[in-house]
């Protein structure tokens, strides 16, 4: 069988010719990424089974040299009535077309989004003449593909296997997170990343590797992040198998025990039916961190009025006082804090239905007088969890959910935090989207906790303000290992979890909880910029924030939660990270050190353009519990000002243009 590949230049704008019916290539608009697909007849002596099967590979151009991001990797999918694995034959291939998109969102890494890709659809059939489409999109910062069953059938079918795999080169180094065991509180994507491990290293947990997964190839010449996008109600949330024989990581379905056994691990739908996008973000580390590919690949919103979707800062009482959501007096103090700081919201966490010293209505009235919006916590269960915190039973049933959301709208509640989902099965992924659809009808913003990781819903439902899916600051209460692990872990999150969507880490804890911080207070302050979330939940107490130096309080009053642009200035996962985020004409810069030794960072200001700037620093002081605040500097694009980060330290800076 021919292994000939036709070049992208010949394919563009033409129909695939007979000579190339078993091999196709699609390159990105600027030609720096190329995805190749081929029907290969293997003899079974190498890495894959004998017979004709579909494979793909991905190359990234570094300078003039191509670097293999993925070697020949398996494709294929099996339904309960048809298999699309062996003996596939070519039917047709569409012309390669260029797709360009421009859109805006009310929060995220940037306000205006722009992307372009080249797309091709390859149609194949099995021995019984049933068809499957492989849809390919290649961008300059990544590639994606999905399967689609194009035929029409009202009978509901199941996918019983997805054979998709990712064949990493032998020299790849990986940053991967083990998937949670099914428990009362998991899976929830709250496991530490394995840092800089060799390709093929077995997962320390039997449940496989979670997405997203980061790896480098070619000695760090190219980086790639595996993820998925445009998750509809008709599929499961994917992860990777525990073992990667010969470096091939394969898709794995959820565990039957997830969500207390509710729902099937096999997704089902009538036809036509398409899967989510399998996404590989690829390029430099900056390419990965700055990417919006998960949003770019997801369905555009159909919501017409987004004026009520308002990102903002949030005071949060639970971390410093777990009983406070049941005490109106305690909650009023956090309303006062939000009003003093100019923060837009206050969050009332679990068990507010048994409040003493007042009612939720008393608190709502008090917050309204202070011009502070109220967000309320809810348990998502339902039969899929046995967590007893209240209110529960309000969000799993459609009629009850809509009744509750309509009531919240009348009360003036601005948003909800919905918690404890514990499953990546189709039934629970549908529940997330049902909640978002109903909340949109009543103009209620949403934050998910105890949840799956983002999969592009923020573009379809822009009132999705944040998602947890991270081992965040609350673990200073629960996890004795957290103080030692969090400094390095925080840097890894910049290059992995926070790439794919907003992350409700609940940062900026200056004081200590049960297990004391090892990060410096400047490191904690920097997390308000380093991490992106449409709602920024400040985790610490009223007393802690009021006791900070004036220059810190001033920074907390002005730090934004929605951005016009995002740049990675420096960093390496597990080591350090420095990000710049622009709001209007002002750049906010945050840097964190994940290592137990001081390091100096020189900022290359040329990326911000010409002109003069006022640079105002807040950095580590004489000890981890103190700040330094040097006098502001006047700088230009030619300057490279330097700052020293202490062990597990950090800094923030504001770069404001000086108008002549």
Q: What is the DSSP letter of 354?
A: G
Q: 3 pLDDT band (50/70/90 cuts)?
A: very low
Alpha helix segments (H runs only) across 398-541: 398-411, 426-441, 457-460, 475-478, 482-495, 521-530
Tell me how far apart the alpha carbons of residues 441 and 633 are, in angstroms, rounded to a whole number.
49
User: Does residue 15 have a pLDDT over 80?
Assistant: no
Mean pLDDT over 278-287 rounds to 98
Yes or no: say if 467 and 574 are a contact pair by the CB < 8 Å rule: no
What are the domain boundaries of the chain?
Answer: 8-296, 308-469, 471-660
Structure tokens at 524: 């904690």
CATH class of 8-296: mainly beta
Which CATH superfamily hosts domain 308-469? Answer: Aldolase class I (3.20.20.70)
233: Cα within 13 Å, side-chain hemisphere: 11
**What topology does CATH give the domain 471-660?**
TIM Barrel (3.20.20)
- pLDDT tens digits for range 100-114: 999 999 999 999 999
Q: 402, 394, 386, 385: which is closest to 442 by C-alpha?
A: 402
pTM of the model: 0.96
pLDDT in tens, 403-435: 999 999 999 999 999 999 999 999 999 999 999
Mean pLDDT of 526-531: 98
| pLDDT tens figures, 294-326 | 999 999 999 999 999 999 999 999 999 999 999
Torsions phi, psi for 289 (to 5 deg): -65, -40
Structure confidence at residue 448 (pLDDT): 98
pLDDT at 139 over 70: yes
In tens, the pLDDT along 568-613 reads 999 999 999 999 999 999 999 999 999 999 999 999 999 999 999 9
Evaluate whether 308-469 and 471-660 have a shared fold.
yes
Q: If we measure between CA atoms, which residue out of 630, 655, 621 comes closest to residue 524? A: 621
Average pLDDT over every residue of 254-259: 98
Residue 369's pLDDT band (cuts 50, 70, 90): very high
Buried b (16+ CB within 10 A) or exposed e, 367-405: beeeebbbbbbbbbbbebbebebbbbbbbbeeeebeebb
What is the gyration radius of the CA atoms in the chain, in angstroms?
A: 25
Note whether 374 and 364 are within 8 A (CB). Answer: yes
For all residues of the chain together, what is the average pLDDT? 95
Helices (H) and strands (E) in the chain, counts: 13, 36
Confidence of residue 92 (pLDDT cuts 50, 70, 90): very high
């Amino acid at each position: 069988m021919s292994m000939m590949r036709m070049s992208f230049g010949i394919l563009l704008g033409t129909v695939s010719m007979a000579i190339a019916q078993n091999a196709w290539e699609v390159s990105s608009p600027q030609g720096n990424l190329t995805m190749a697909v081929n029907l290969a007849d293997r003899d079974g002596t190498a890495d894959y089974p004998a017979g004709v099967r579909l494979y793909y590979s991905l190359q990234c151009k570094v300078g003039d040299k191509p670097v293999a991001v993925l070697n020949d990797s398996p494709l294929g999918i099996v339904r309960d009535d048809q298999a699309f694995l062996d003996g596939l034959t070519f039917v047709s291939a569409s012309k390669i077309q260029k797709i360009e998109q421009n859109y805006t969102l009310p929060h995220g890494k940037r306000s205006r989004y722009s992307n372009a890709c080249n797309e091709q659809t390859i149609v194949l059939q099995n021995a019984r003449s049933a068809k499957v489409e492989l849809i390919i999109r290649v961008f300059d910062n990544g590639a994606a593909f999905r399967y689609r069953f194009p035929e029409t059938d009202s009978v509901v079918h199941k996918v019983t296997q997805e054979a998709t795999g990712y064949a990493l080169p032998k020299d790849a180094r990986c940053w991967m997170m083990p998937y949670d065991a099914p428990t009362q509180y998991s899976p929830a994507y709250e496991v530490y990343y394995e840092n800089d491990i060799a390709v093929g290293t077995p997962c320390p947990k039997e449940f496989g590797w979670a997405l997203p997964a980061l790896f480098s190839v070619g000695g760090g010449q190219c980086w790639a992040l595996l993820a998925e996008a445009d998750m509809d109600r008709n599929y499961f949330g994917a992860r990777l198998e525990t073992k990667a024989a010969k470096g091939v990581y394969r898709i794995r379905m959820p565990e039957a025990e997830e969500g207390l056994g509710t729902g099937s691990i096999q997704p089902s739908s009538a036809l036509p039916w398409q899967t989510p996008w399998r996404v590989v973000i690829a390029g430099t580390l900056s390419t990965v961190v700055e990417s919006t590919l998960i949003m770019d690949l997801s369905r555009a919103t159909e919501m017409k009025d987004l004026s009520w979707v308002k990102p903002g800062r949030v005071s949060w009482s639970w971390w410093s006082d777990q009983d406070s959501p049941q005490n109106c007096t305690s909650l009023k103090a956090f309303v006062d804090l939000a009003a003093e700081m100019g923060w837009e919201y206050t969050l009332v966490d679990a068990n507010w239905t048994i409040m003493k010293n007042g009612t939720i209505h008393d608190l709502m009235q008090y917050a309204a007088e202070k011009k502070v919006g109220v967000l309320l916590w809810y348990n998502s269960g339902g039969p899929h969890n046995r967590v007893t915190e209240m209110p529960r039973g309000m969000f799993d049933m459609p009629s009850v959910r809509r009744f509750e959301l309509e009531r919240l709208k009348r009360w003036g509640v601005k948003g909800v935090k919905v918690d404890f989902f514990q499953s990546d099965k189709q039934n629970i992924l549908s529940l997330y989207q049902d909640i978002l659809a109903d909340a949109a009808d009543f103009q209620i913003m949403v934050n998910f906790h105890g949840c799956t990781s983002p999969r592009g819903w923020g573009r379809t439902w822009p009132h999705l303000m944040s998602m947890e899916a991270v081992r965040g600051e609350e673990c200073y209460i629960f996890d004795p290992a957290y103080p030692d692990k969090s400094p390095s872990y925080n840097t890894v999150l910049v290059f992995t979890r926070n790439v794919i969507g907003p992350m409700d880490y609940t940062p900026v804890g200056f004081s200590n909880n049960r297990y004391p911080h090892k990060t410096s207070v400047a490191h904690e302050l920097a997390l308000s910029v380093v991490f992106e979330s449409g709602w920024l939940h400040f985790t610490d107490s009223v007393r802690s924030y009021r006791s900070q130096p004036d220059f810190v309080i001033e920074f907390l009053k002005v730090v934004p939660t929605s951005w016009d642009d995002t740049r990675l200035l420096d960093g390496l996962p597990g080591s350090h990270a420095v990000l710049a985020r622009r709001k209007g004409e002002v750049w906010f810069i945050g840097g964190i050190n994940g290592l137990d030794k001081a390091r100096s960072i020189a900022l290359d200001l040329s990326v911000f353009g010409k002109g003069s700037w006022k640079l105002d620093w807040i950095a580590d002081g004489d000890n981890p519990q103190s700040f330094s605040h040097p006098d502001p500097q006047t700088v230009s694009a030619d300057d490279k000002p330097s700052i020293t980060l202490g062990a597990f330290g950090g800094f923030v800076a504001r770069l404001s243009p000086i108008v002549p």
